[in-house]
Amino acid sequence: MTDQHSTLRAQRRSETQRMIQAHAVRLFTERGYDATAVTDVAEAAGVSPMTVYRHFPTKEDLVLFDRNGRIVGERIAASSTARPLVRRIGDALIESATTLTGGGHGDDPTADERFLLARLRLMISTPALRAKHLDNQYVLQRAIVDGLGDEVGDPDTMFRTQAAASACLAAMHMAVMRWAEDDGRSDLPDLIAQAFAAAFGDSLFGADPDA
Q: What is the mean pLDDT of residues 116-142?
A: 87
Q: What is the mean pLDDT of residues 179-198?
A: 93
pLDDT at site 3: 64
pLDDT score recorded for residue 209: 47
Mean pLDDT, range 43-56, rounded to an integer:
96
pLDDT score of 101 more than 90: no
Q: Would you mind telling me the total number of residues written for the chain in this entry?
A: 211
Q: Which range (151-155, 156-160, 174-178) has the least confidence? A: 151-155
Is residue 104 scored above 90 in pLDDT?
no
Mean pLDDT of the chain: 89
N-term to C-term CA, the chain: 45
CA 132 from chain centre, in angstroms, equals: 14
For residue 207, the model assigns a pLDDT of 56
Which of 105, 101, 87, 117 is CA-nearest to residue 178? 117
pTM: 0.84
Is the model's pLDDT at 179 over the cut of 90? yes
